[in-house]
Structure 1
Amino acid sequence: MAVIAVWLCDRDGSMFEDKKVAEEHDKYLELAANITQLIEENIPGIDEKYSEAIGILLAQRRELLAKACKGKPDELLQPFTYEKPVTLNSKTATATDKDD
């Protein structure tokens, strides 16, 4: 039996075979959580599901958002497809699909 090293992301339980990908995924989730917290602290009465959706959206598009802040606002309007990093499904140990 082969032993495979995996990295577990404690934020969402995702498992990764590549440490660099695992760390990038963790940074993405941390950014989304911090954006969500920022929104909730500064917009009284916002529904938690909406603030979380906005946090995730902005974290997914962080690179486009950075370009927009540097003088290219049209970058945010470009078509965008977020692809989840490849993770191991804990039940089947196969890669997961793209995010919806």
Structure 2
Amino acid sequence: MAVEVVYRSSRDLERLFMDKAEADRHDKMLELAELLGSVLKNAVPSLSEEQLEEAGIYMAKNRDVFARAFKSQPDALNELINGAKAE
């Protein structure tokens, strides 16, 4: 009988990971997504909770593209518009 070590995300109990670093990255992405959703809720109160969650996760998953766009490379967003990093 083999023993397998798995890691569970503390923010997403359904997901299991074979690598602790990967589980940590997933937790950090979900934490960022939650904060982004809170910011978006303040900016656009009419968004539903589902829309806020989806937008927050999308932005968190594509944080590198958004970071480049905010650092004076707005054309980086074309990657998302053209579907290069779309889910």
The answer for the alignment partner of 2:71 in structure 1 is 70
Distance 1:41 1:49 in 2: 15
The answer for the alignment partner of 1:85 in structure 2 is none
CA shift digits 1:18-47 (9 cap, x unpaired): 111111111111111111111113322321
Distance 1:19 1:80 in 2: 28
Distance 2:54 2:18 in 1: 27
The answer for the alignment partner of 1:2 in structure 2 is 2
Normalising by the residue count of structure 2, what TM-score does the alignment of the two structures yield? 0.83
Distance 1:17 1:6 in 2: 5
Q: How many pairs align?
A: 83
The answer for the alignment partner of 2:11 in structure 1 is 11
Question: Which structure would you say has the larger RCO, counting Cα contacts within 8 Å and 6 or more residues apart?
Answer: 1
The answer for the alignment partner of 1:59 in structure 2 is 60
Quote the sequence identity (%): 36
The answer for the alignment partner of 1:80 in structure 2 is 84
Whether 2:26 is the aligned partner of 1:22: answer no
Partner secondary structure for residue 77 of structure 1: helix
Quick check: 2:62–2:85 contact (8 Å CA) kept in 1?
Answer: no
Give the letter for the 1:7 counterpart: Y
Distance 2:43 2:72 in 1: 25
Task: List gaps (5 residues or longer) in structure 1.
Answer: 83-99
* CA RMSD after TM alignment: 1.5
Task: List gaps (5 residues or longer) in structure 2.
Answer: none
Distance 1:47 1:80 in 2: 27
